[in-house]
Amino acid sequence: MPYLLPTTCVVLAILLFLSWRTHLIARSLQKEKHHLEKQNLNEQYSALEKEHKIILNAFDDALIITDAKSNIKLANRSAKELCNRNSLRGKTVTQAFLNQPITDAIKKALATGNACREKLVIPSGSFGSSSSLEESSWILDVAPLELENTKDLYRVILRNITAEHKTDQIKREFVANASHELRTPLSIINGYLENLLEDGMLEETEMATRFLTTMQKHGSRLSELVEDMLSISKLETGDSSLLDISEFRVADVFEDIRDRLISMTREHNSSITIDLPSDDLTLSGDRFYWEQIFFNLTENALKQNCDKTIEVQLAAKVIDGHLQFTVRDTGKGIPAAHLPYIFNRFYRVEKHHSQNVVKGTGLGLAIVKHAVELQGGEISATSIPGEETIFTIELPS
């Protein structure tokens, strides 16, 4: 029996050893499990953070999260780009935006503690891209964040609406100018109609004929205006599917224009000359619009100089593989101060003619510019008053 004692001791010792090993393994597994869980959580957290960042940065609008005292807690990439900084966290709105109207508006909105949305027009060069020389327009949208465990946090969104603002402005100006231009002939026609309807006026045949002739002149002006307005609104869509492209001889277009304007040239002994590198020079484009382009430019030269003899030259040249057209005249020219505006709708150089003497809608050059650009070209004008005026159209090869 006594020899059984050491055997029991050995078994006990082995059992003890095994239970200690099991305990150690269990502990280490437990540790490993915690570690893996932690690692997993960390991975999940950083994946989530990455996702949020991607979502925030995919947003074109500038977005910042700030507290009520305008300390920035978070900013997306657009906001950083807008402020020209790598990081905005920890800065105040004033330090970040460096633009008083913007910071004032944000602070005012934060002070109310409520959601607010307003449109801001910022003067040129002072905000956004440093190269911006024109005023810019923005929608500022501020609202408190309604999240659990967050207090006094706000989201501020700045959306650049400069392009939409400009389009609206152009539309408003167009409607105002068009109404003004249409009102003048309409009120003249109405005035003459009233006179004609007065007792006995229709019996005075000579006077009545004079009134009717004037009314007809203003009626034609009205339809000319409407035609031009329709052309320009069509061209302004920038939709090149409007174009009916074909290949045509440039000489045919120039000669047609010379024929159409023959009575105007004869009136004052003026001339239209054509200068082409070859009679067979062809152009691929919308012949209707190209004829309108050269017609408007040539007619302008003649009608702006209806009191003198001038020469108009229609020319084309191939320069470094691209086509250059010029319409040159030896008329009174365009003063330098007016040159930057002549392609604007309804712009007329009033100084050197009266609207009654020189016919026109002020839309001719705007139509020309749009028609050239829709066909991939560019137009510019130079003038030496009293010597010459040149309109140049550059077309890519």
Residue 62 to residue 50: CA distance in whole angstroms: 18
Max intra-chain CA distance, the chain: 159
Backbone angles phi, psi at 395, to 5 degrees: -120, 135
365 binds ligand ADP (CB under 6 A): yes
* Structure letter (DSSP) for residue 134: S
Order of strands across the sheet with 378-384?
271-275, 311-319, 322-329, 388-395, 378-384
User: How are the residues of the chain apportioned to helix, strand and coil, as percentages rounded to the nearest 5?
Assistant: 50, 20, 30
Residue 365 CB, nearest approach to ligand ADP (Å)? 3
- Segment lying near ligand ADP (by CB under 6 A), choices 22-30, 116-124, 188-196, 359-367: 359-367
- Segment lying near ligand ADP (by CB under 6 A), choices 245-253, 265-273, 274-282, 331-339: 331-339
257, two tokens: 């224009």
Bridge partners for 74 per DSSP: 65
Q: Which of 64, 158, 301, 372 binds ligand ADP (CB under 6 A)?
A: 301
- Segment lying near ligand ADP (by CB under 6 A), choices 23-31, 32-40, 43-51, 360-368: 360-368
Torsion over CA: 198, 202, 207, 211 (sign)? positive
Q: Which is nearer to ligand ADP, 45 or 341 (CB)?
A: 341
H helical segments located in the chain: 4-58, 77-82, 93-97, 100-112, 162-197, 205-236, 250-260, 262-267, 287-303, 364-374
Type of residue at 93: V
Residue 308 CB, nearest approach to ligand ADP (Å)? 12
Backbone angles phi, psi at 292, to 5 degrees: -65, -40
361 binds ligand ADP (CB under 6 A): yes
Q: Which of 347, 382, 394, 395 binds ligand ADP (CB under 6 A)?
A: 347
263, two tokens: 């009575």
Residue 373 CB, nearest approach to ligand ADP (Å)? 15
- Yes or no: say if 158 and 140 are a contact pair by the CB < 8 Å rule: yes
Q: Which is nearer to ligand ADP, 286 or 329 (CB)?
A: 329
Residue 291 CB, nearest approach to ligand ADP (Å)? 15
Q: Which of 76, 99, 292, 300 binds ligand ADP (CB under 6 A)?
A: 300
185 binds ligand ADP (CB under 6 A): no
Element (H, E) at 316: strand 311-319
- Segment lying near ligand ADP (by CB under 6 A), choices 36-44, 90-98, 167-175, 330-338: 330-338
Residue in 256, 323, 249 with CA at minimum distance from that of residue 281: 249
x/- string (CB under 6 A) for ligand ADP, residues 136-175?
----------------------------------------
State the CB neighbour count (10 A cutoff) for residue 24.
10
Q: Which of 349, 371, 374, 393 binds ligand ADP (CB under 6 A)?
A: 349
215 binds ligand ADP (CB under 6 A): no
Residue 362 CB, nearest approach to ligand ADP (Å)? 4
x/- string (CB under 6 A) for ligand ADP, residues 12-51?
----------------------------------------
Which parts of this chain interact with ligand ADP (CB under 6 A)? 296, 300-301, 304, 329, 331, 333-334, 342, 347-349, 360-366, 389
